[in-house]
């Protein structure tokens, strides 16, 4: 007898054009459908492993429900949060948990739910919008306990006023997306399954997250405005798409290797850097449609960051080469598009500034190297060769910069209030900025500011380490030290 059922199943496949379209952030409907099928395959394979390990009546109950209501069961199993549950349950079973404590009872709950006639309005809460003939409907998930597994603390169930605010913002975001980046809006309509409101992070203004186990779910705090929601949804659905691609193909040989990411203050694994570049690809495409100073700044900043981060990725698999090559093919032509020189200076400066502050924060100069640098300074010699060590961060660090905040205010035309060096820098007075920064060498941002305003090519962590090693009594000119290491 030949192979049947699961043993006869064929691999998921993507045409070369489909994989390239995903890399470029322009997948068509058939490619999105393949990703949705891949999600269902993943959920079913996880479920199969759970059934093998747990051997409870819960799976049998679900299989019986499927015979009675196959489409409904299939729909419930395809939901993003089912992926979260299945991954968690199987991990627990493999760690030795009993079926009960691993939560296999959830399958019986789904079986019971599948047998109930479908409510007219599914689960009560939805966000819907329609604009220019394009419609989107997603579930607003604010009660399922599994929503807490998406990486950020969820809000409590929304009250009517909060729900209405979300709906208003969602409709506004949808208008923006359809008008400005309609193909991206079509992707969202095809993939976004549910939105999970999460608590606002006081350090991050607007924050959002995606779990690799929850393809099609986005966790996001109540946005400041429709633009923030539009950009947040574009960003997060890209993470989901990349997760879906990685269900199918490994893209990196060493996904855990730490390096520089333009979007975070902490070192990130290569997989996170790829995620950042891919998520910002469509964010950049959105800002490309705006001609106001802030929009142009975001466009100029992120086009360069995406191109650099993706271009610097090493250890790509063949599928990764194809995917990232298509990503670069999309973003690189944008680098030549004109941007107001004043805005461009600030955008390029923001990217340099971030990298300099990242170096100061994460590249550690050991005591012996710092002492060697200090000795060379005292003797009037050139700096000795020193290789700082990248230190993993103890926790997630979102980008935080007073200079960047000031830049945003300038571009918005708002009154400026801040440190003298930063005020001078954003206004383009590099001489005044340098004078201010050199007076404050205890501040990491001031070291970065000296390199930035001085137009220098320097490793600021070396200057800062040598300065500290020299001690208070010697008190060298910090600007001279920056020039010394440049």
Partner 1 sequence: MDGGTSTTGATPEWRSAMIDVSGLSLTELTADADADGDPADQSPLAYCLRRLAADLAHPGEPIAGFNSAL
Footprint of partner 1 on 135-154 (CB under 8 A): 150-152
Residues 367-386 that bind partner 1 (CB under 8 A): none
Q: Is 114 in the site for partner 1 (CB under 8 A)?
A: no
Q: Which is nearer to partner 1, 186 or 407 (CB)?
A: 407
Q: Which is nearer to partner 1, 286 or 467 (CB)?
A: 286
Q: Is 45 in the site for partner 1 (CB under 8 A)?
A: yes
- Using DSSP's 3-state secondary structure scheme, residue 6 falls into helix
Q: Is 1 in the site for partner 1 (CB under 8 A)?
A: no
Q: In sequence order, what DSSP letters do the residues of 174-185 get, joined into one string?
A: HHHHHHH-HHHH
Q: Which is nearer to partner 1, 250 or 477 (CB)?
A: 250
- CB-based burial, 443-460: b 16+ in 10 Å, e otherwise: bbbbbbbbbbbbebebbb
Residues 408-437 that bind partner 1 (CB under 8 A): 408
d(CA 237, CA 210): 8
Q: Which residues pair with 140 in a beta bridge?
A: 195
Q: Which is nearer to partner 1, 271 or 362 (CB)?
A: 271
| CB 276, min distance to partner 1, A | 8
The interface mask with partner 1, positions 297-326, x = CB under 8 A, is: -x------------------xxx--x----
- DSSP class of residue 197? E
d(CA 190, CA 153): 26
Selection from 241, 143, 138, 141 nearest residue 184 by Cα? 241
d(CA 77, CA 114): 10
- Give how far the C-alpha of residue 12 lies from the chain's centroid of Cα atoms, to the nearest Å: 26
Q: Which is nearer to partner 1, 235 or 403 (CB)?
A: 235
Q: Which is nearer to partner 1, 255 or 476 (CB)?
A: 255
d(CA 217, CA 237): 8
Q: Is 105 in the site for partner 1 (CB under 8 A)?
A: no
Give the binding-site size for partner 1 (rule: CB under 8 A): 85
d(CA 39, CA 191): 11
Q: Is 19 in the site for partner 1 (CB under 8 A)?
A: yes
Q: Which is nearer to partner 1, 416 or 480 (CB)?
A: 416
d(CA 238, CA 199): 22
Among 21, 31, 56, 211, binds partner 1 (CB under 8 A): 211
The interface mask with partner 1, positions 261-300, x = CB under 8 A, is: --xx----x-xx--x---x--------------x---x--
Stretch that binds partner 1, among 115-123, 217-225, 353-361, 365-373 (CB under 8 A): 217-225
Residues 221-260 that bind partner 1 (CB under 8 A): 223-225, 228-229, 231-232, 235-236, 239, 247-250, 255
Q: Is 40 in the site for partner 1 (CB under 8 A)?
A: yes
| CB 20, min distance to partner 1, A | 10
Q: Which is nearer to partner 1, 76 or 365 (CB)?
A: 76
The interface mask with partner 1, positions 66-85, x = CB under 8 A, is: xx--x--x------------
Among 1, 13, 379, 417, binds partner 1 (CB under 8 A): 13
Among 30, 68, 71, 94, binds partner 1 (CB under 8 A): 94
The CA-atom distances, in angstroms, between 370 and each of 286, 387, 468, 479 are 45, 11, 8, 17
For residues 32 and 190, the answer to whether their CB atoms sit within 8 Å is yes
d(CA 190, CA 306): 25
Q: Which is nearer to partner 1, 7 or 387 (CB)?
A: 7
Q: Is 37 in the site for partner 1 (CB under 8 A)?
A: yes
Q: Is 209 in the site for partner 1 (CB under 8 A)?
A: yes
For residues 12 and 319, the answer to whether their CB atoms sit within 8 Å is no
- Using DSSP's 3-state secondary structure scheme, residue 202 falls into coil
Token pair, residue 21, equals 């379209």
d(CA 131, CA 170): 11
Q: Which is nearer to partner 1, 234 or 485 (CB)?
A: 234
The residues, ordered by sequence, that sit 6+ positions from 169 with a Cβ below 8 Å of its Cβ are: 222, 223, 225, 226, 229
Q: Is 346 in the site for partner 1 (CB under 8 A)?
A: no
Residues 459-478 that bind partner 1 (CB under 8 A): none
- CB-based burial, 313-350: b 16+ in 10 Å, e otherwise: beebeebbebbbebbbebbeebeeeebeeebbebbebb
| CB 196, min distance to partner 1, A | 12
Stretch that binds partner 1, among 35-43, 132-140, 364-372, 447-455 (CB under 8 A): 35-43
């Amino acid at each position: 007898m030949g192979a049947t059922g699961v043993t006869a199943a064929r691999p998921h496949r993507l045409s070369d054009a489909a994989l390239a379209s995903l890399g470029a952030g322009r997948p068509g409907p058939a490619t999105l459908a393949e990703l949705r099928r891949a999600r269902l395959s993943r959920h079913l394979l996880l479920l199969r492993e759970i059934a093998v390990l747990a051997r409870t009546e819960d799976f049998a109950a679900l299989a019986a429900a499927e015979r009675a209501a196959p489409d409904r069961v299939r729909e419930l199993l395809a939901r993003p949060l089912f992926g979260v549950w299945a991954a968690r349950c199987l991990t627990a079973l493999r760690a030795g948990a009993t079926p009960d404590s691993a939560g296999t009872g959830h399958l019986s709950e789904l079986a019971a739910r599948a047998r109930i006639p479908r409510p007219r309005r599914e689960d009560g809460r939805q966000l819907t919008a329609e604009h220019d003939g394009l419609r989107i409907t997603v579930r607003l998930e604010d009660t399922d306990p599994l929503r807490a597994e998406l990486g950020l603390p969820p809000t409590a169930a929304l009250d009517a006023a909060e729900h209405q605010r979300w709906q208003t913002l969602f409709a506004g975001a949808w208008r923006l997306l359809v008008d400005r980046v309609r193909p991206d809006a079509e992707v969202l309509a095809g993939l976004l399954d549910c939105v999970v409101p999460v608590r606002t992070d006081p350090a991050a203004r607007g924050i959002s997250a995606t779990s690799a186990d929850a393809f099609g779910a986005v966790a996001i705090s109540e946005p400041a405005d429709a633009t923030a929601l539009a950009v947040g949804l574009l960003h997060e659905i890209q993470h989901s798409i990349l997760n879906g691609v990685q269900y199918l193909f490994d893209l990196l040989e060493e996904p855990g290797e730490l390096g520089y990411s333009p979007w975070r203050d902490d070192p990130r694994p290569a997989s996170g850097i790829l995620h950042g570049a891919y998520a910002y690809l469509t964010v950049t495409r959105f800002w490309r449609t705006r001609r106001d100073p802030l929009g142009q700044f975001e466009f100029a900043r992120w086009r360069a960051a995406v191109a650099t981060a993706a271009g610097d990725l090493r250890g790509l698999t063949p599928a990764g080469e194809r995917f990232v090559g298509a990503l670069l093919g999309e973003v690189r032509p944008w680098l030549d598009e004109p941007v107001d020189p004043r805005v461009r200076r600030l955008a390029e400066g923001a990217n340099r500034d971030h990298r300099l502050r990242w170096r100061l924060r994460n590249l550690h100069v050991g005591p012996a190297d710092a002492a060697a640098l200090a000795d060379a300074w005292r003797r009037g010699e050139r700096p000795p060769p020193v290789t700082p060590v990248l230190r993993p961060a103890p926790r997630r660090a979102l980008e935080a910069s007073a200079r960047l905040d000031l830049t945003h205010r300038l571009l918005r035309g708002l009154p400026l209030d801040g440190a003298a060096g930063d005020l001078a820098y954003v206004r383009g007075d590099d001489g005044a900025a340098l004078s201010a920064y050199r007076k404050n060498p205890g501040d990491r941002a001031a070291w970065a500011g000296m390199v930035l305003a001085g137009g220098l090519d320097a490793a600021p962590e070396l200057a800062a380490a040598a300065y500290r090693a020299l001690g208070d009594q010697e008190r060298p000119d910090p600007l001279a030290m920056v020039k010394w290491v440049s």
